[in-house]
Amino acid sequence: MLVQYAVRNFKSIKDEIIINFTADKKSRKNNWVTMQESQELYKAIGLIGPNASGKTNIVESIVFAFRFILGTISRRESAKINIERFGFDESHRMKPATFEFIFYQDHIKYVYGFSVNEKEVLEEYLMGYFSAKAKTLFERNGQNFEFKGNDAKLQKEIAQKTNRNRLYMPVAAEWGYAPIKIAYEWFGFISRQYLDFNVISMIEEIAKDKIRKSVLIKELQNADFNIKDIYIKKKKMSKEDYGIIQRLLSEVVNEMGEISIPESSATIHVVHENAEGQTFDIPLDEDSAGTETIVQNIAELLYISADGGLMIEDELGKAYHTKLTQHFLAMVKSPDINNGGAQLLFTSHDTKVLNLMNPDQIYLVDKDESGSTIVKLLSDYIIRENDNIELGYLKGRYGSVPYMKG
């Protein structure tokens, strides 16, 4: 589970921004937490703020980090790192972008971080709390590695296989170095949601599981959708279409190595039932935008919940009613549905969520005078027990609302 994420110098983010999932027992009123060792962690964190404040850049930064970590092995030695740094300050364009994760994997807390520019990895480190005191598994500055006596000879051999534009942790995991591979497995599970594991594959896996499929259908019906069934329909691709796609992909792929192309196309189908009991089978992408989005959101939650993954959703509820946002957040909160303690990091313009979550689950996102994204916890403000937080927010009591001129 994710304890904390920090990022600096990425797009509109200049100074370090920290998103912490640790639950504050003083402000916690609702059952939003799950236990990890002796630590209570939130199942959901929301980023609320006006347009162009940088909410999307925060979630894009974490997706970039996941992609870079999992894509390291197939990265070509000559490939540039497509990193976009803070653009409103010339000095920051020359500084690296930095990322740090604190997380639990196999009941051990790890701290992993790295810094990059467009050419190389400038810094990288991994620490593990195998006891009360953190143990450094490796440190890296450029191509200089320190292993602190941890299988130094073996790790030095692995380091020699690590190019300047590659991260050491995935390389060491790929070569089977167990102490690092355990930590990397957390990223391996999390990252596949944002790389090659698409929604069709996700729903196909859920459809094969009677229990998870029944939960998906039940929750869609509870949300007032008349969906009776969902399944994947496959159609074999013609040799001509297959050849066209293969040629197009070969032209656009420059950083990664070869990628496999499925020989059949697949579509998600939903079966609706009307008041007379008649059923209608249609592709999900021909249904309403709200139906398509809520199906995908619930399916992803069910897919990752068993293993306690991390779901990232930009503009949660954008395509569906605020009541559905409330319903989905209730699913995230539910120990029966979200039984593995999956976590959700989301952005939203739906101010109703302010009254649904604890104040220390909400980060208010805004920009300072330099155009840099800043965040502040809602719990940093004085909030009385009976306060209508949504109304106070809309009146500007907590900031992070659009300033309308005229």
Q: What is the pLDDT of residues 371-384, one digit of tens each?
A: 999 999 998 888 77
CA distance 349 to 56: 12
Q: Answer yes or no: are the C-beta atoms of 86 and 93 closer than 8 Å.
A: yes
Model confidence over 206-258: pLDDT tens digits?
888 999 999 999 999 988 888 999 988 887 766 776 677 777 766 555 544 45
| Per-chain mean pLDDT for the chain | 87
The per-residue pLDDT for 402 is 55
Q: Let me know: does 365 contact 400? Beta carbons within 8 Å.
A: yes
Task: Say if residue 42 is exposed, middle or buried (CB neighbours under 10 Å; 0-12, 13-18, 19+).
Answer: buried
Q: What would the two tokens of residue 229 be?
A: 């069934």
HSE, side-chain direction, 13 A CA sphere, residue 297:
31
**DSSP state, 373?**
E
Tokens of 395: 């009146």
Q: At residue 37, does pLDDT exceed 70? A: yes
pLDDT score of 173 more than 90: yes
In 3D space, the residue among 362, 302, 294 whose CA is nearest the CA of residue 328 turns out to be: 294
pLDDT at 192: 55
Query: Can you list the domains of the chain with their CATH numbers?
Result: 1-197+307-406 (3.40.50.300)
100-123 tens-digit pLDDT: 999 999 999 999 999 999 999 999
DSSP string spanning 66-91?
HHHHHTSTT--TTPPP------S-HH
The average pLDDT across 295-301 equals 90
Structure confidence at residue 229 (pLDDT): 92
Give me the residues paired with residue 348 across strands. Answer: 48
Using the predicted structure, report yes or no on whether residue 51 has a pLDDT greater than 60.
Answer: yes
